[in-house]
Amino acid sequence: MLDEPLEAPQTLELTAPSKLTAEHDCTQFDCGEPSINEYLLSALKQQQRQNATVYVTCQAGTLIVKGYYTLSSAEIIRDLAPGKLKRGGAPKEISAIKMGRFGLDRHYQGQGYGQDILQDAIERCIQASAQIASKAILVDALNDEAYRFYEKCGFKPAEKISPLTLYLSLL
């Protein structure tokens, strides 16, 4: 139940994000959002089907997943793209990277770990865009709280795409 006190893990240290494998334990993850929790349980299959690449961070010294994000390729229709992304004779579809899911276990929320994990995702996207052209990172915020988090981290509104969509330019 949500009103029961949370039992704190013995250590609040997290590992650096790495690609999800079958050895990772996803069963203990609880970010407080059922859809994010449930996705993680099927994330390895999604990754194997090339629908997304899943990066996880674990409780230090374990393979117990405490945070994750997904990355996949995406396109932005030029007419819906924010102004900066349309510059330079942009084609009809502008290449982007989509961060489709992002979650952090409730025990770790509010301590800066979310920004650290997001920074890892941004750095991976920058590296990928140097190899495969991508102009932006797209996120669809799950709710207003998530929207504010992404804004605080430098993402800009892309309301022509969707009211809860934000982007971060990689240009």
Number of CB atoms found within 10 A of residue 35's CB? 10
Considering 113, 147, 150, 167, which one is annotated as catalytic? 150
Q: What secondary structure letter does DSSP report for 16?
A: P
Determine whether 113 is an active site residue. Answer: no
Question: Exposure pattern of 97-135 as b/e (b: 16+ CB <10 Å)?
Answer: bbbbbbbbbebbeeeebbebbbebbbebbeebbeeeebb
Residues 6+ apart with CB under 8 A from 148: none
- Contact between 99 and 137 (Cβ < 8 Å): yes
Q: Which residues are catalytic?
A: 150
